Structure 1
Amino acid sequence: MADGIPIEITGLSKHFGAVTAVDDLSFTVEPGRVTGFLGPNGAGKTTTLRVLLGLVRASSGTATFGGTPYHALPRPLETVGAALDANFHPGRTARNHLRVYATAAGLPSARVPVVLEQVGLAEFAERRVGGYSLGMRQRLALAYTLLGDPGVFVLDEPINGLDPEGIRWIRVFLQTLAREGRTVLVSSHLLSEVQQSVDEVVIISRGRLVKRGTLASLELDSAPRTIVDSPDRTALATALDSAGLEYDAGRSGFIVDEPDPGRVGHAAFVGGVELSALHRLKSGLEESFLSLVGEAPDESPGDASNGSPGDDPAEAPAAAPPVDEAPAGEEDAR
């Protein structure tokens, strides 16, 4: 097993014409921990990972593994295991898919059955990948990352498509890698997907860093607010405005930047507004996350977990060997 080394993102920016996908981003991912790389769709997560893996050229700044860019690593697959873009031949079996990459990387073919066993695909090794479910493809992508027994793992939306059993399995898998001293960076647009797996979070929005720290520090950032609703929301909004209360519209009412429901209720009373809901919105990880990235939460944090995976439709998480430069015509402002 290769030693875990830090992932270092320093002053990284990437522009696609007039669009800024990543804006002066800096953070470090240390070995021995699972770091969640979080942000809404379009936040710039995949662009950052593409720059890190040499698939896209940075406009400025650096993205390295212990100070060394990906293209300069002497044996990259033995240093970094990356699952990013889909690159499966539907007519190949899982075993042959991995053999192709092992041969190309100069790795022993004996690693193929080992990694298939590690991800629970040994009994499906001779099945064509075209017949795999999305969850099985995710596991095959992870098998690819394990081929070189690397010390660093970069995984883009690895939980997408997994059933509950698969989610539990990958959580144990990620934590096991970290306990072995490896560096693990896992991207997701949903905090709820990874919050039981990660030790630290790096949160970005619109290409910029908005938070870095532990999950505990994320929860502490969230101040209690109040949920209020009325059959006449227009009148309620007028009453809140008259009282000088700031609020956001949620699916089940207004989320008011006021911890005291009594003050909110009094504003509604003064305005002659009938209320159908009035209670404090407890602080929590999901609320804090949504607040940081500029999305209005509902009173049920889990409701905010709905959405399509990835930063855009082309962001299908699977295995692909990195290349040294961006493909021609790259216009992905992710």
Structure 2
Amino acid sequence: MAAGIPIEISGLTKQFGAVTAVDDLSFTVEPGRVTGFLGPNGAGKTTTLRVLLGLVRATAGTATFDGKTYHDLERPLETVGAALEADFHPGRTARNHLKVAATAAGLPAGRVAAVLDQVGMTEHADRRVGGYSLGMRQRLALAYTLLGDPGVFVLDEPINGLDPEGIKWIRGFLQALAREGRTVLVSSHLLSEVSQTVDEVVIISKGRLMKSGTLASLELDAAPRTVADSPDRPALAAALDAAGFAYTEGRSGFIVDNPDPGAVGHAAFVGGAELSALHRLKSGLEESFLTLVNGGEHE
């Protein structure tokens, strides 16, 4: 087993023409922890991971493994296990896919059977991948990352498509990797998917860092707020402004810095704004996450 090493993102910027997908992003992922890389779809998570793995060239800044770029690693598959998408040729079997990858990387043939067993895919190993469910493809992608027994894992949405039993299994599996001292970076657009798995969080929105720290620190940041929405958002915004309420606008409506839906509803009534939604956000992890990403979308 390779030792875990830090992942270091420093001043990373990636532009595609006039679009800035990642904007001066900096954070570190330490060994021995499961770190959740979180943000809404389109936040820049996959672009960041693609730069880290040498698939896309950065516009500025660096993305390295203990100071080395992916292309500078002597034996990449034995240092980093990465799965950005479960994309396999449908006509080949899982065992065949892994044999080809192991041979190309100069790994022992015995690793194929070992990793198939690790991810619970031995009985399906000789079926064509075209007949696999999304969850089975996710397990095969994870088997690929394990081939070199690396110290670092970079996984993009690994829980997507898994059934409840599979989710429970992968949570335990990732936590076991971290306990062995490996570095585990897991991306997701839903905090609820990974909140029982991760120790640390890195939250981005529109390519910018919103927060990094422990999962516990995210929960402590929570403060009760109210969600309000209207078919006429400009009218609701004017009503909230008139009442002196601070707020941010997100996909689900306005997140108002007031814990009392009654007070917010009264302000909307006085301002003549029809409401289509009005409820108190529960304090806790999900609220903090939504506040961060919704606020980041409108800075």
TM-score norm. by structure 1 comes to 0.80
**Aligned residue for 2:283?**
283
Q: Distance in 1 between matches of 2:63 and 2:250?
A: 38
AA at the equivalent of 2:127: R
Q: Distance in 1 between matches of 2:6 and 2:116?
A: 27
Q: Distance in 1 between matches of 2:61 and 2:153?
A: 22
CA offsets, 1:138-194, max 9 Å, x none?
Answer: 000000000000000000010111111111111011101001100000011111111
**Aligned residue for 1:92?**
92
Displacement of 1:201 in angstroms is 0.4
**Aligned residue for 1:161?**
161
**Aligned residue for 1:21?**
21
Alignment CA distance shift 1:163-1:232 (3 Å): same
Displacement of 1:87 in angstroms is 3.5
Alignment CA distance shift 1:258-1:17 (3 Å): same
Q: Distance in 2 between matches of 1:66 and 1:42?
A: 27
Q: Distance in 1 between matches of 2:231 and 2:24?
A: 45
Whether 1:59 and 2:77 are equivalent positions in the alignment is no
Higher relative contact order (CA closer than 8 Å, sequence separation 6+): 1
| Identical residues among aligned pairs (%) | 83
**Aligned residue for 2:201?**
201
Alignment CA distance shift 1:141-1:283 (3 Å): same
Whether 1:127 and 2:130 are equivalent positions in the alignment is no
**Aligned residue for 1:151?**
151
**Aligned residue for 2:245?**
245
Q: Distance in 1 between matches of 2:99 and 2:222?
A: 48
Q: Which has the higher helix share?
A: 2
Q: Distance in 1 between matches of 2:93 and 2:289?
A: 40
**Aligned residue for 1:213?**
213
Displacement of 1:286 in angstroms is 1.3
Displacement of 1:21 in angstroms is 1.1
Alignment CA distance shift 1:45-1:235 (3 Å): closer
Displacement of 1:259 in angstroms is 2.6
Displacement of 1:132 in angstroms is 0.7
Displacement of 1:215 in angstroms is 1.4
Q: Distance in 2 between matches of 1:194 and 1:128?
A: 30
Q: Distance in 2 between matches of 1:18 and 1:276?
A: 36
Alignment CA distance shift 1:227-1:117 (3 Å): same
**Aligned residue for 2:173?**
173
Q: Which runs of 5+ in 2 are unaligned?
A: none
Q: Distance in 1 between matches of 2:215 and 2:151?
A: 24
Q: Distance in 2 between matches of 1:255 and 1:14?
A: 30
Q: Distance in 1 between matches of 2:90 and 2:76?
A: 26
Report the 3-state secondary structure (helix = DSSP H, G, I; strand = E; otherwise coil) of the residue aligned with 2:58. Answer: coil
AA at the equivalent of 2:41: N
Whether 1:191 and 2:202 are equivalent positions in the alignment is no
Equivalent positions of 1:104-115 (< 5 A) are 104-115=104-115
Displacement of 1:281 in angstroms is 3.1
Whether 1:37 and 2:37 are equivalent positions in the alignment is yes
Displacement of 1:260 in angstroms is 4.1
AA at the equivalent of 1:65: F
CA RMSD of aligned residues (A): 2.8
Displacement of 1:40 in angstroms is 0.9
Report the 3-state secondary structure (helix = DSSP H, G, I; strand = E; otherwise coil) of the residue aligned with 2:181. Answer: coil
**Aligned residue for 1:222?**
222
Cα pair 2:249 2:294 within 8 Å, conserved: no
Cα pair 2:159 2:167 within 8 Å, conserved: yes
CA offsets, 1:178-221, max 9 Å, x none?
Answer: 01100000011111111110000001111111100111111222
Displacement of 1:255 in angstroms is 4.3
Q: Distance in 2 between matches of 1:210 and 1:227?
A: 20
Displacement of 1:241 in angstroms is 4.3
Q: Distance in 1 between matches of 2:124 and 2:194?
A: 27
Cα pair 2:268 2:275 within 8 Å, conserved: yes
Displacement of 1:280 in angstroms is 4.2
Q: Distance in 2 between matches of 1:273 and 1:16?
A: 40
Report the 3-state secondary structure (helix = DSSP H, G, I; strand = E; otherwise coil) of the residue aligned with 1:43. Answer: coil
Aligned residues: 296
Displacement of 1:270 in angstroms is 6.1
Of 144-153 and 266-275, more deviation after overlay is shown by 266-275
